[in-house]
Amino acid sequence: MNHTIEIDGIHVSPHHYIGGQRVASSQTFTDHCPIDGHVIGEIAAGLPEHCDAAVTAADEAFPAWAALGPEGRRTHLRRFAAEIRAWGEKLARVECEDNGMLLARLRGHQIERCAQNIEYFADEAVRLASMAFDGEKAHHDVRHEPAGVALLITPWNSPMMLTTWKLGPALAAGNAVVVKPPEWAPLTCSMFGDIADAAGLPKGVLNIVQGIGAETGARLVADPRLARISFTGSVPTAKQISQSAGANLVPASFELGGKSPFIVLADADLQVAAETAALQYRNAGQVCLAGTRLLVDESVAGEFLDRMHAVVERLRVGDPRDPATEIGPIIHPRQFAQVDGFVQRAVADGAEVLWGGSAHQAGDLYYQPTLLGSVDQESEIVQNEVFGPVLVVQTFGNDDEAVELANGTRYGLAGVVFGEDERAKAVADRLRTGMVWVNSFFLRDLNAPFGGIRDSGIGREGGQWSFEFFCDIKDVMMPHTPYRPVFAGG
């Protein structure tokens, strides 16, 4: 049970973390490094007995964890956040090796955000505990009560940060949790088990079961003891999960990605818009919020694209451990093949490659930042999420046409509008999407709701919205004056 995987001198357990103990498996799956394709190690695969044991451990730990109350849980969670910071360099280096995210970004942003995700929700749970108001006839004491066992299924594009984004509210609400990490990048999630030990988190409150989604994930979501399921990933998988959740009447929350519009009006600051558009290639385009559909006023399209191309040409693609690198690898050969397949089919259907369009010389899983033009609104490349460094551009003649194009997919996660403030805001108001940035991008606040509509998901994460999902809401009413029952006709 002492076997570990070594990454740059850092030892990471490949085993499950159940009831505060490391648990091996007779079956494993292989984890590869996207930087150069080498095998990182063999990871324990969750079998039925592991899934059952993890839910059982969480179920048994739940009553005592819930009974601590928001203040008691906050003490534990603040220690957990402190340990994340203490482990920050190790987490950053492992995530870079396992996922391919830029090491500089992990060090400079992701670690602190992970700690803040835990601290913020620990504090927010305390604030919500005192919600009360006086109604016309009674005093209402609104309680956010723990729901039970929460299953958290996290994605591979930012596994460390997005796991804490779910862990924070789930644990602060008083639930015990089972985490199912992504099979393409499971290692920083595994490290959270060691961090839980270092922080003194009660055993069974946090459990981690690794495995292939179609096998381990399917077993977990079917457990009738679950009280909540939170999933970030693809639409087809969400549909399968919703069937299992529905069979057991388990509330489920889905964040499913998008095909977001990036609108550039004629009166926009074209240089700022162009530089921001180039940011959509960040993390090799593996970002659900990315504005992958550039919609540009036809009167400024040429100048805008010239400015954007000048920025893109300076972007350095390469090893994410190099501080000069700005775009790293795509995470997995299957994802690489999906990205390139989208591009090649689009070109075969008549799309024009404005730049990029093929693999990058940096290595097997590196792809050139790509922009395709001459695309039809109903084409695959416009309608479907690519999840790679591939954007498309379309032009419009007026604001109505821009809005029609922007709303013309089945997704609705985010949007970006650049233009004169009032005009841009008016366009933003007409977009059918969960979030819109006006003359900005990726400004996030933990108080704000996060989520989309249509095929981009169900529910919201962030602030009180997370607690509305992870809690059972109870209203305790006490009358202002002595109560007497009144019967009909009496």
User: Which two three-digit tokens encode residue 416?
Assistant: 């970006």
Give kind and range of the element (H or E) at residue 428.
Answer: helix 421-429
User: Which two three-digit tokens encode residue 195?
Assistant: 């961090």
pLDDT at site 3: 87
Please state whether 408 falls in left (phi above 0), alpha (psi between -120 and 50) or beta. Answer: alpha
Give residues with Cβ within 8 angstroms of 249, minimum separation 6.
none
pLDDT at site 487: 82
Residue 4 pairs with which residues in a beta bridge? none
pLDDT at site 490: 47
Give the amino acid at 448: A
Instruction: Please give the model's pTM, rounded to 2 decimal places.
Output: 0.95
Domains for the chain: give ranges and CATH numbers.
5-256 (3.40.605.10), 261-438 (3.40.309.10)
What pLDDT, in 10s, does the model give residues 53-78?
999 999 999 999 999 999 999 999 99
The Cα 319–Cα 33 span in angstroms is 12
- Let me know: does 428 contact 406? Beta carbons within 8 Å: no
Closest among 309, 308, 374 to 346, alpha carbons compared: 374
Task: Give catalytic residue positions.
Answer: 255, 288
- In tens digits, the chain (490 residues) has pLDDT values of 568 999 999 999 999 999 999 999 999 999 999 999 999 999 999 999 999 999 999 999 999 999 999 999 999 999 999 999 999 999 999 999 999 999 999 999 999 999 999 999 999 999 988 788 999 999 999 999 999 999 999 999 999 999 999 999 999 999 999 999 999 999 999 999 999 999 999 999 999 999 999 999 999 999 999 999 999 999 999 999 999 999 999 999 999 989 999 999 999 999 999 999 999 999 999 999 999 999 999 999 999 999 999 999 999 999 999 999 999 999 999 999 999 999 999 999 999 999 999 999 999 999 999 999 999 999 999 999 999 999 999 999 999 999 999 999 999 999 999 999 999 999 999 999 999 999 999 998 999 999 999 999 999 999 999 999 999 999 999 999 999 898 876 4
The Cα 343–Cα 348 span in angstroms is 9
